[in-house]
Amino acid sequence: MPSDVVVLVATAVLAVVTVVAAVVAVLAARRVARGPVPAVPEAPPLEPVHEDVAASVVPGELVRVERTRAPRTDLPVSERSGALAPRVVEGRVVVPPTQDQVVAATLSRPQVRLAVVAEGLAHALRPESRDRISALVRREYRGRRRERLRAGRRAARAAHASALPTAPADQWLGER
């Protein structure tokens, strides 16, 4: 099978996988945005972390917490930074994850790792990247070749200089 056919088939398979992944992601996003939230089984009531949060929560109702864009100066420094505080929802304490935890969880998923590798391969296979990489390899190869030739010439000069007899100009000095 010719190599151009193999590349064409691989590209087609990659395109199909990408389209399927996009469709699955859109359907999942719509389902999350539209679908009802499943009921959480009742747990023994916990001590509320903040009394003002516990007083404002109605049992059986979900609490939506949104970050504000502009920092407010009347809030403490910890709340001005946009960090979400722990909340009590249906008798359970919900602690939002930190940004580092979200990034670590997202990047550890196999689909994300595969997408990162695929994007890296696509970038490496672009014509401009191939040309740049081949130019770097060519430059490195030529530099090493020049260095080998210089080292060979130096070695030949050193070997030739030690094998030469004394110059005739030195013979008139005589021996002491």
Measured distance CA(26)–CA(139) in Å, rounded: 46
CA pair distance 164, 132, nearest whole angstrom: 48
Are the beta carbons of 94 and 48 closer than 8 angstroms? Answer: no
Q: Lowest mean pLDDT: which of 63-67, 95-99, 110-114?
A: 63-67
In contact, 75 and 84? CB cutoff 8 Å = no
Portion of the chain with pLDDT greater than 70, in percent: 65
- Per-residue pLDDT, averaged over 109-132, amounts to 89
pLDDT of residue 95: 86
Task: Please state the pTM of the whole predicted model.
Answer: 0.29
pLDDT reading at 39 higher than 60: no
Can you list the positions of beta strands (E) in 28-162? 87-89, 92-94
**Distance in angstroms (rounded) separating the CA atoms of residues 59 and 40:** 12
**How far is 110 from 76, CA to CA, in rounded Å?**
39
Per-residue CA distances from 27 to 20, 22, 32, 107 (Å): 11, 9, 9, 21
Cα gap 113→104, rounded to integer Å: 12
- The CA distance from 126 to 136, in Å, is 15
Write out pLDDT tens, residues 156-170.
Answer: 988 887 776 666 666
By CB atoms closer than 10 A (0-12, 13-18, 19+), residue 5 is: exposed
Residue 155 confidence (pLDDT): 92
